[in-house]
Amino acid sequence: MTSKTVYLAVYPTFADWETGHTTAHLAQHGYAIRTVGPSLDPVSTMGGVRIQPDVSINDVHPGSDADVSMLILTGAELWDMGDELAPFARKAREFLAAGVPVAAMCGATAGLAREGLLDDRAHTSAAAGYLAATGYEGGRRYVDTDAVTDGDLITAGPTEPVAFAREVFGKLGVYEGEVLDAWYRLFHDSDLSAYEVLMAAEGAGVE
């Protein structure tokens, strides 16, 4: 079991449904999930859930903390309503520069596009046109698929929370190979045969 930290960005209009699979299974495998907000003030999600951030974005420094494993950025209406969330995109740049993975969904991908982080990396989002509207220069690297991993960057669209989780688990080594495939088939396709693979792996002590 690991004791490493994954930062989950939380901000007003945070899209609740996008990271439930990801954070639940990371926590079950020993990762500490710490919520990081614009400040320490409580925020309300798109679903009306009130969250008290554990830490402010200004106090997160991946290069100086060897226990940090990933930054997760979810969608939010605010990504398309101005620059209020730009500090999170800039923090993503800091994570990537430090060699720490970043995973972004939906509107967060537009934030990364505006920051120039998708210009030279394969990526996906809600739609190619959505990112093109940001004026970014990475359109040639857009991939029309459920989720994409390119080096330390993971991207996905708003309707792919299971594929997003799959990429995160694969990147962090939570599940691998046929076990990772079985996890995806169980939660995405309701394939009950995949459950047997997962239980067999758990019994053998394989993650």
The angle, 0 to 180 degrees and rounded to 10, between the axes of the packed helices 86-97 and 107-114 is 70
Helices (H) and strands (E) in the chain, counts: 7, 9
3-state secondary structure of 63: helix
Residue pair 105/156 in contact (Cβ under 8 Å)? The answer is: yes
- Which of 57, 72, 85, 106 is labelled catalytic? 106
Nearest Cα neighbor of 72 from 125, 108, 113, 21 is: 108
Beta strands in 67-123 (DSSP E): 68-73, 102-105
Active site residue 106: yes
Report the distance separating Cα 135 and Cα 148, nearest Å: 21
Active site residues: 106
